[in-house]
Amino acid sequence: MFIFIFSALAQVAPTKAAPVPEVSASQIDAPVLIISLICLCLLIIALLCVAIVKGVRYWRAKLKRDLSLEEDNQAYLELDLDEQELFFQAKEFLSNFPYVTDDLPLSQNLSIQEKGIRAWEMVKDPMLLNSDLIIVNKYELTFFKKFECSAQTNLPIPTTNEVYYFESKIYSLPHPEETMVSIGLGVSPYPWFRLPGRHAHSVSYDSDGYRRHNQPFKFESPAPFPKLIEGDVVGIGYKVRTGTVFFTRNGKKLSELKIGGHLRHFKIPRNGRLYPIIGANNLCSIHVNVGQMGFVYIEGNVKRWGFAPLEGNGPAPPAYKKFNGDILLERSEIDDENDLSERENDFPPDFWDLHQNDEGAESAKFSFQGYSDVSVDERITLHSIIPELPPHYDSSSMINEESEDQANDSYIPYEEFRSALEDTESVNDDNEENENENSLLNEQGDILPADLTDDITEEFTEDPIEDDSENSHT
């Protein structure tokens, strides 16, 4: 192999040094001229490309400006004063608050992974009060006031699968002729004081049967869809790859041949995200289903067109203990390792000795003692709190402040309190009977008058008896 390599090198290598040819000035200028011409051509091409790009951008901006002016003129001609005000306010809102174009943040992605479909919920603008719009159980919307307002989901429609689908049921519609319900898709943020489908990058199915796509004006042609009534279920499907939007009603796909077929290429520039939007202008109730329940449209159930799986991969909820086994307050001074004794004076003297549970196992089933091996001294529950007896009111005697303080400091069991009260009542009854008897005897003359009895008692007290014998003799 080495012999072959050396023979090849010997054939390639020249045996003698080749003479260097003489180069003239004309031959030297020719390559330089060619290189300069090539650079000049590239520069011209680059300038042409920049000019073309700027021209296209200018043409698009001019076309957009012309369309905006034409739309403004049409708004002045066809809309009334209130609708004109809302129209221009919405245009200013969209220009001041650009729509969301970035990917979902990490917190929202983690929420979707942990909660699944429960990560989605309907949210309203902070400007709307509960008296205007209230959302119950994340998906139940109730509109109250007679003005346009809307709400949308907190998360956009995903872009992972081929098709995504959601449904909305008109749960209550008291005044169908005076109410406009609009169910659609749009960017976020969307003007909360406008219905979907009226402004840029939005589409909707209205309850009057019209499909709106960036169209706030009145229609002259007949409605392509049937009108919505109470109990109808409207579904909207979105194909991610082609940007096609289709509608269903009560489980059947609606035909859109009258208006040129399904809406196609409905994609937001700069990778914008789409959100479900629900709006109304009068009293009604709408329930939204993004996949947390079964769809009325069977194909959506079979192909699983919901926004996310029903269950996420989050941790299981904590295991709950048995009934009435929760600790209200645990004594911190009981610590075998640290021997904490800083709270010895937190309880009254003989607190645990006086208030032990004397009823045994019958009452233990209503406290944590029936389900735990920990003694009563280590825990404080509602059963260990000293009951406060009602104050004692006595009309016959006035209690001074000292006796009140003593009564508050002392603890009297209920049984003793009841027996003492009965004794006092019996003594009062006996005193009343004796007074009645004395009054009767006094009327008959059998009892001495009060002044005479006082004199007799004074004589006895002045001459006390010194000897028992004298007393017996007298």
pLDDT, one tens digit per residue, over 320-349 is 555 555 555 555 555 555 554 555 566 666
Domain co-membership, 185 together with 137: yes
Domain co-membership, 142 together with 254: yes
Domain co-membership, 174 together with 298: yes
Judge whether 205 lies within some domain: yes
Domain co-membership, 282 together with 330: no
Provide the pLDDT for residue 101.
Answer: 84
Judge whether 228 lies within some domain: yes
Looking at 272, 302, 332, the residue that finishes a domain is 302
Confidence category of residue 164, pLDDT binned at 50, 70, 90:
very high
Domain co-membership, 296 together with 394: no
- Which strand ranges, in their side-by-side order, compose the sheet holding 181-186? 122-123, 149-153, 275-280, 181-186, 202-206, 211-213
Mean pLDDT value across the chain: 76
| Number of structural domains in the chain | 2
Domain co-membership, 139 together with 258: yes
Q: Does 366 score more than 50 pLDDT?
A: no
Domain co-membership, 400 together with 298: no
Looking at 398, 417, 436, the residue that finishes a domain is 417
Provide the pLDDT for residue 388.
Answer: 59
- Residues paired with 253 in a beta bridge: 248
Mean pLDDT along residues 143-152: 94
Domain co-membership, 277 together with 359: no
Mean pLDDT along residues 133-154: 94
Domain co-membership, 134 together with 278: yes
Nearest Cα to Cα of residue 166 among 158, 178, 174: 158
Domain co-membership, 223 together with 362: no
**Which domain, by its residues, includes 328?**
322-417
Confidence category of residue 35, pLDDT binned at 50, 70, 90:
confident
Judge whether 72 lies within some domain: no
Provide the pLDDT for residue 260.
Answer: 84
Domain of residue 206, CATH code: 2.60.120.920
CA distance 115 to 309: 9
CA distance 75 to 81: 10
Is 323 in contact with 315 (CB distance < 8 Å)?
no
Domain co-membership, 283 together with 338: no
Domain co-membership, 175 together with 290: yes
- Residues paired with 184 in a beta bridge: 204, 277
Nearest Cα to Cα of residue 280 among 204, 166, 188: 204
CA distance 365 to 382: 14
Judge whether 90 lies within some domain: no
Nearest Cα to Cα of residue 64 among 242, 263, 212, 214: 214
The pTM score is 0.59
Highest mean pLDDT among 21-30, 134-143, 438-447: 134-143
Higher-scoring residue by pLDDT: 119, 454? 119
Looking at 302, 333, 364, the residue that finishes a domain is 302
Judge whether 376 lies within some domain: yes
- Pairing mode, strands 233-239 and 211-213: unpaired
Confidence category of residue 254, pLDDT binned at 50, 70, 90:
very high
Is 101 in contact with 270 (CB distance < 8 Å)?
yes
Q: Which two tokens stand for residue 197?
A: 């489908």
CA distance 277 to 164: 15
pLDDT tens digit sequence for 17-31: 445 455 455 555 677
Q: Does 356 score more than 80 pLDDT?
A: no
Query: In Å, what is the CA distance from 372 to each residue of 340, 352, 362?
Result: 23, 19, 15
Instruction: Indicate the residue type of 22.
Output: E
